[in-house]
Structure 1
Amino acid sequence: MKRGWRRALGASVLALAAWSTAGLSVTAAAAVPTFSQRSHQWSRDALGSDPIDTIGSAGCALTAVTMVTAAYGYSTNPQQLNRWLTEHGGYIENDLLLWRQAGAATQGSVRWQWLHVPGIVSQLKTGDQDIEDLPPQSLVEAQLDAGRLVVAEVRLYGGMHFVVITGHSGHILNINDPWYGD
């Protein structure tokens, strides 16, 4: 394992998107590149068309998607994917990632599947999180065991944040974190 964190996310995972490929065989334990949303190369670029938010300040979902896309063999980085998404309707309200467009830069070769988490729809509308609505860790582990990378919403300093779950060892989940770039 590269410098990816080994943490039991347990009660932190709130929303999941499992990524897979059409026609490519990649396991969740494959090398997943690390990118930092705070890299000097793109951290000051506007996120989507937002006049305030940048990749560095609010680009964790974009950067997580970039890591997954690159893991499946597509040459990209957060700056390139942000540019593509901005030009192809990949954001709503200026800077909110439109998940169904996230895999479109690969012409549909990388696809995502939203995993149902009870109560998550109302949470996504109100931003109110309920600790009782968390998915079981076994759901995450099953996706990883099936060779799918998982993008998960977690809490970072109390706010929404996205990471890539790259594998697990027992009940310890391995993640790539876009904020820290590891």
Structure 2
Amino acid sequence: MDKIIIPEEVITNKIYFIRNVKVMLDRDLAELYAVTPRRLREQVSRNIDKFPEHFMFRLNEIEVDLMVSQNAIPSKQALGGSLPYVFTEHGILQLSNVVKSERATQMSIKIIEIFVSLREFLTDNLSVKLEIEEIKKKLVNHDKNIELVFTYLDELMEKQDNKVERNKIGYKN
């Protein structure tokens, strides 16, 4: 089979952040795997023991309403009248074992690579943010030090202005 060419953006746009994990909807995965959502759900239900809670879970009504309101799902009818399953990175990897097709295997590999690149991107961003915070702390300290120097200069200037003329000592003409 030929290598599947799908832009990464297409897959990335199908990844959602729900319950503090990155997931993909069953209908989106079915589309990428070139199977019907019904077939995908059948394979999952036949192998349900391979999908623990941290691999796959079903969305509740509130989550579906939120996704519809954010246009991640065009409407509830697009879900085929049932609450969708969502799959985590591990669940997607497991899906390639139950939806046995060359396309499913290739797509799973591609999706996992995208999940990994997203994780690396987030890690890189986090390290950049930490470095910026470090620089901010240093700048705040520098500002305090500069302020202190100006305070000392002001005090010295005041002392110069308040000096009383003293009689000069030494030889007088």
TM range (shorter): under 0.3
- Flag the structure with more relative contact order, 1 or 2, with Cα contacts below 8 A and sequence separation at least 6: 1
* Greater strand share, structure number: 1
The alignment's TM-score, normalised by the length of structure 1, stands at: 0.23
Larger radius of gyration: 2
* Greater helix share, structure number: 2
The alignment's TM-score, normalised by the length of structure 2, stands at: 0.24
